[in-house]
């Protein structure tokens, strides 16, 4: 459904919910903030790629709106944005991709594609299975946007590079992403695991 090679078990939702929704929301807010920063960096570093320069400002704005929405929900529930901690998911992807990289831009676009896909998969699961139906609705509302970002990043990669290298690198990074995510520890984070 999301073009990923590892399907998160449904039980992940209940286990994360038991760890605490305030911590999950704080982590989620940071994910949105980081996504907005990533979009801005992509624009600044790829001034000669018209489609990147023209399409990513809107995505950056959407990610900031998501940040506001999630941060407001966190406060409404009596929580506060906690300090950001390093993400084993993002670190695992960066390290794994760097080892076999041929193009930094291609990797940035395809990793963004996969991270958006994983976020959409998690939002979908949370929307379907959270016991807290209020929060489930918030995730239901956010899912289509991340799913559209997922499609956009693949198109940007296909626009900037020939089909064959894109398909080959996508396969490699899909395998890396599945391996990284399947080994993540259980934490109250959007990109956590069951280990
Ligand atoms: Fe977002
Ligand atoms: Fe996104």
What's the pTM value of the predicted model, to 2 decimals?
0.97
Q: How far is the CA of 106 from the centre of ligand 2 (A)?
A: 18
Q: Which ligand is nearest to the CA of 190?
A: 1
pLDDT of residue 189: 98
1 pLDDT higher than 90 = no
183 pLDDT higher than 90 = yes
Q: Which ligand is nearest to the CA of 117?
A: 2
Average pLDDT over residues 165-188: 98
Percent of the chain with pLDDT over 70: 100
Other CB atoms within 10 A of residue 120 CB: 24
CB distance 88 to 189 below 8 Å: no
**pLDDT tens digit string along 8-19?**
999 999 999 999
Considering only CA atoms, which of 148, 130, 149, 151 is closest in space to residue 139?
A: 130
pLDDT of residue 20: 97
Q: How far is the CA of 125 from the centre of ligand 2 (A)?
A: 16
For the chain, domains (ranges, CATH) are 20-182 (1.20.1260.10)
Considering only CA atoms, which of 171, 118, 126 is closest in space to residue 2?
A: 118
Q: How many residues does the chain have?
A: 195
Other CB atoms within 10 A of residue 161 CB: 17
Q: How far is the CA of 117 from the centre of ligand 1 (A)?
A: 11
**pLDDT tens digit string along 114-164?**
999 999 999 999 999 999 999 999 999 999 999 999 999 999 999 999 999
Q: Which ligand is nearest to the CA of 68?
A: 1
Q: How far apart are CA 109 and CA 132, in angstroms?
A: 34
CB distance 86 to 105 below 8 Å: no
**pLDDT tens digit string along 29-69?**
999 999 999 999 999 999 999 999 999 999 999 999 999 99
Alpha helices in the chain (DSSP H): 11-19, 21-45, 50-76, 88-98, 104-129, 133-160, 163-182
Angle at 20 between CA 16 and CA 24, to 5 degrees: 70
Is 134 exposed, middle or buried (CB count within 10 Å of its CB: 0-12, 13-18, 19+)? exposed
């Amino acid at each position: 459904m999301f073009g990923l090679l590892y399907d998160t078990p449904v039980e992940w939702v209940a286990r994360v919910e038991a760890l605490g929704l305030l911590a999950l929301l704080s982590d989620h807010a940071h994910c949105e903030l980081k996504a907005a920063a990533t979009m801005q960096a992509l624009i600044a570093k790829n001034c000669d790629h018209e489609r990147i320069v023209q399409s990513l400002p809107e995505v950056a704005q959407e990610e900031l709106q998501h940040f506001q929405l999630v941060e407001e929900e966190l406060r409404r529930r009596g929580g506060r944005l906690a300090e950001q901690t390093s993400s084993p998911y993002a670190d695992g992807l960066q390290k794994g991709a760097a080892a076999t990289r041929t193009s930094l831009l291609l990797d940035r676009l395809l990793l963004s594609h996969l991270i958006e896909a994983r976020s959409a998969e998690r939002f979908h699961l949370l929307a379907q299975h959270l016991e807290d139906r209020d929060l489930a609705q918030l995730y239901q509302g956010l899912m289509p946007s991340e799913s559209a970002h997922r499609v956009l990043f693949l198109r940007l990669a296909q626009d900037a590079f020939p089909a064959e290298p894109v398909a080959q690198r996508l396969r490699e990074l899909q395998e890396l992403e599945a391996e990284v995510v399947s080994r993540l520890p259980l934490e109250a984070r959007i990109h956590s695991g069951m280990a």
